[in-house]
Structure 1
Amino acid sequence: MTSVLFLRQGSRGLLPLPADLAAAGFELLATVDDCSKLVQASVQHAPDLVVGEATRPDDALFRATQTLSEVAPRPVLLFTADNDAAHIERAIGAGVHAWVVGGYGAERLRPLVKLAQARFGHEQALLAQLRDVSQRFEDRKLVERAKGILMRARALTDDDAFQILRTASMHTNQRLGQVSEQIIHSAHFAEAVNRAGQLRMLSQRLVKLYLLRLADVQSRQQQALLDDSVQRVDANLAWLAKGLSQPSFGDLLAQPGATWQALKPALKGKPVAAQVPQVDALAGRLLQDAERLTTSLQSAGPVASLQVLNVAGRQRMLSQRFAQMALMDLLGVEEGVEEGAASRSAAMTAVQHDFERALAYLNGLPLATPDIRAALDQAATGWQQMLAATPQDRRPAGRDRLARLETVANASEALLDLFEQLSTHYERSMQVLMG
C-alpha cells in the first residue's frame, strides 16, 4: 500500500483529500499543518509520497519542498487554486512533481499520484545519470593526476602507470578513481611528512654550520650551506602553509613559524661564541615544534607506510644533532639551554643509540631495493667515520682538532645526502604511494 504524508496549508477542508486518499487505497501516515515541519515529518514517517493542499502557495511552501528534495527526496503532488505561470515554474524547480489547479475528481487521484511518481522516478534517473557522468569525469581527472605521480616517482610510462592503477583497482575491488585518490592522498602526506621532517633536520644543521663558521672551518663552504639551509626552512614552511589544511594543522604550523622568526635573525652576521647557547636553544625549540607537526602528519595519513618515511627522515636530523654536539665538545662550547641537567656525553649517547636503532630497523625492512641497500651500507660507513672523530677521553687540540672538525663536517654532510636520497626513495616507493 502506498503511504502518504498529507500537507495542508491555508484554509481547512476545502478539498476532502484525506478521505479520498484513504478511499483510493492510500495509507495516510500523518497530516502536517506547518510547512516548516514538512522535512522533519517526512524523515520521521518516510512516506512514499507527499500530497499537499495549498490555496495560495507562498515562499514558506516552496522553501519546504526545495529542502525536502535535497534532504529526503519524495514525489510531491500539490493541489491548489493558484494558476500563476511563474509559480508553476517555481514549483517545478522546488521539487513539486504535479501541480494540479482547480480541484480534482476522486477518480483522478490514482492517475495523478502515478503522474507525480513517474515524474519523480524520471527525475531521479536523470540525477543518477548526471552523478554517474560527473563521477566518471572526476575519476578521469584523479586517474591522470595519479598516473603523473607514479610516472614521476617510478620513471614509468603512461601505459605502465595506468596498468598499476587498474591492477590495484581489481585487487582492492575499488573504482579507478578511488585508487587514484588514495595515491594522491598518500603522495601529498608523504611530501608533507618529508618537508616537516626536513625542518627537524635543518634546525640541527643550522647550529652545526654556525659552529663550523665560528671555528673558521671551511668558512666559505659552510656559509653557503648555512644560506642554503635558511632558504630551505623558508621554502618548507611556505609549502606546508599552502599545502596543509589550516583548520587541521594551522596551530601546529604556527609554532615552528614563530620559532623560526626568532631564530633566523640570530643566524645573520659573523658567528659569536656568546650567542651559541641562544642559537642552540631556539634550534632545539624548532626541532620540538617540527617533531610535533611531523608526528601529527604521519597520523593523518596512511600511518604504517609513512612511518618508514618518518624514520628515514629522522635519521637526517639525528646525524646533524650528533654532529653539532660533537662540534660543541671539540670547541669547548657551553651546553645549550635545551640540554638541561643532562650531560652532553649522555645526550650524545642517546642520539647514537637512536640513530643505530633506526638504521637497524631500516636494514630489516623487506622493501629495500638495491639503491636503498647501497645507501644504507654507505650510511653505516659514514656513521662510523663520524663516531671516530668524536673525542673520547680528552679534548684534542691543534691539527688533531682541526682534522676532527673537518671529519665531522664532511661525514655529517655525507650522511645527510645519503638520508636525503633514502627519504626520496621511500617517499616514492610503491608501499608509501599505495598507502
Structure 2
Amino acid sequence: MPNSLRIVVADDEPLLVEEIVVYLTEMGHRVVATAQTGQELISLCAEHLPDLVITDISMPDMDGLEAAKRIQAVSLTPIIVVSGHHDPTFIERAKDGNVMSYLVKPINATNLRANIEISSQRFRELNALLLQTDELQRSLAERKLIERAKGVLMQRTGLTEHEAHRRLQDLASIKNRKIVAIAQSIIEVGDAFDQP
C-alpha cells in the first residue's frame, strides 16, 4: 500500500469520527468517506474501494465485525476495528473475520498510527501469500495437464515419457504456443477419440 492511504471511517459517534479524520489527515491520509451504520459502511466501501477501513464495532444496524466480514467477501481490504472495551467475544470474532488490528478506545494519534502501519504491513504480507498460493495452484494445474497429455501421447503413439514430453515441447515451439495450451489440445483430441 502507498504511504498515503484512501480510508473509510465508520462510527456512530460523529465527534469520534471527526477526531479520527483529523488524525488521519495530519498523517497524510485521505478519508474518502465516513459512515454511521454498518450497512452504510458496506455501501461506501463498494463505491470507494478504500485502501483501509477503520470501523467501530458497536453501530446501530449491524456491528462493525459483521460489516467487516461482508466487506471482505467482496474485496479483500485491511480493516481496523475500534471498541470501547476489551471484549474477548469481539476479539475472537475479529480473528475469524480477517481483521488486521483491534484498537481499544480512547484513540490517539500515536496508537492509530501504529495500528495503521502494522495493519498495512500484515495486509501486504497476506497479499503476497495469496499471490504465491495462486501461482502454486496454477502451476500444479498446468503440470497435471502436461502429465495427462504425456499419458495420451504415450498411449496413442507408444512414446516413452521422455519422448512424449519432448514432443510436447517441440509442438509448443513449432506452434509458438505455451506447452500447457498444446497439452490441453492433445487432451481434448484424446477425449474426442475416446467418445463412443
Query: Normalised by the shorter chain, which TM-score bucket?
Result: 0.7 to 0.9
The 3 A distance-change label for structure 1 pair 180 and 59 is farther
Tell me by how many angstroms 1:97 deviates: 0.7
Cα pair 1:68 1:74 within 8 Å, conserved: yes
Cα pair 2:172 2:182 within 8 Å, conserved: yes
Q: Does 1:137 align with 2:140?
A: yes
Cα pair 1:146 1:180 within 8 Å, conserved: yes
Q: Does 1:43 align with 2:46?
A: yes
Q: Does 1:116 align with 2:119?
A: yes
The 3 A distance-change label for structure 1 pair 58 and 169 is farther
Q: State the alpha-carbon separation in 2 of the partners of residues 116 and 58 from structure 1.
A: 26
Q: Does 1:25 align with 2:28?
A: yes
Give every structure 1 segment of 4 or more consecutive aligned residues whose post-TM-superposition deviation is greater than 6 Å: 56-59
Question: What is the CA deviation profile of residues 102-132 of structure 1, one whole-angstrom value per residue up to 9, with x for unaligned ones?
Answer: 3322133323211111010111111122222
Amino acid at match of 1:62: L
The 3 A distance-change label for structure 1 pair 2 and 178 is same
Q: State the alpha-carbon separation in 2 of the partners of residues 22 and 61 from structure 1.
A: 22
SS in 2 for 1:156: coil
* Equivalent residue in structure 2 for 1:91, among 94, 97, 109: 94
Q: Name the structure 1 match of 2:15.
A: 13
SS in 1 for 2:15: coil
Cα pair 1:138 1:177 within 8 Å, conserved: no
The 3 A distance-change label for structure 1 pair 98 and 154 is same
Q: Name the structure 1 match of 2:184.
A: 181
Between 14-23 and 155-164, the greater mean CA deviation after superposition? 14-23
The 3 A distance-change label for structure 1 pair 172 and 67 is farther
Q: State the alpha-carbon separation in 1 of the partners of residues 43 and 182 from structure 2.
A: 37
Q: State the alpha-carbon separation in 2 of the partners of residues 31 and 80 from structure 1.
A: 17
Question: What is the CA deviation profile of residues 276-312 of structure 1, one whole-angstrom value per residue up to 9, with x for unaligned ones?
Answer: xxxxxxxxxxxxxxxxxxxxxxxxxxxxxxxxxxxxx
Q: Does 1:34 align with 2:37?
A: yes
Give the number of equivalent residue pairs. 191
* Equivalent residue in structure 1 for 2:163, among 160, 170, 178: 160
Structure with greater helix share of residues: 1
Aligned counterparts, 1:295-374, within 5 A: none
Runs of 5+ consecutive residues of structure 1 not aligned to the other structure: 196-235, 237-435
Q: State the alpha-carbon separation in 1 of the partners of residues 60 and 140 from structure 2.
A: 39
Tell me by how many angstroms 1:13 deviates: 2.9
The 3 A distance-change label for structure 1 pair 73 and 191 is same
* Equivalent residue in structure 2 for 1:71, among 70, 74, 87: 74
RMSD of equivalent CA atoms: 2.9
Identity of aligned residues (%): 26
Mark the structure with the bigger radius of gyration.
Answer: 1
Cα pair 2:5 2:30 within 8 Å, conserved: yes
The 3 A distance-change label for structure 1 pair 31 and 56 is closer
Q: State the alpha-carbon separation in 2 of the partners of residues 29 and 142 from structure 1.
A: 46
Cα pair 1:80 1:100 within 8 Å, conserved: yes
Cα pair 2:24 2:31 within 8 Å, conserved: yes
**Normalising by the residue count of structure 1, what TM-score does the alignment of the two structures yield?**
0.39
Cα pair 1:2 1:26 within 8 Å, conserved: yes
Q: Does 1:148 align with 2:146?
A: no
Cα pair 1:57 1:82 within 8 Å, conserved: no
Cα pair 1:56 1:80 within 8 Å, conserved: no
Q: State the alpha-carbon separation in 2 of the partners of residues 57 and 124 from structure 1.
A: 32
Tell me by how many angstroms 1:36 deviates: 3.2
Amino acid at match of 1:80: S
The 3 A distance-change label for structure 1 pair 130 and 13 is same
Amino acid at match of 2:77: R
Question: What is the CA deviation profile of residues 219-265 of structure 1, one whole-angstrom value per residue up to 9, with x for unaligned ones?
Answer: xxxxxxxxxxxxxxxxx4xxxxxxxxxxxxxxxxxxxxxxxxxxxxx
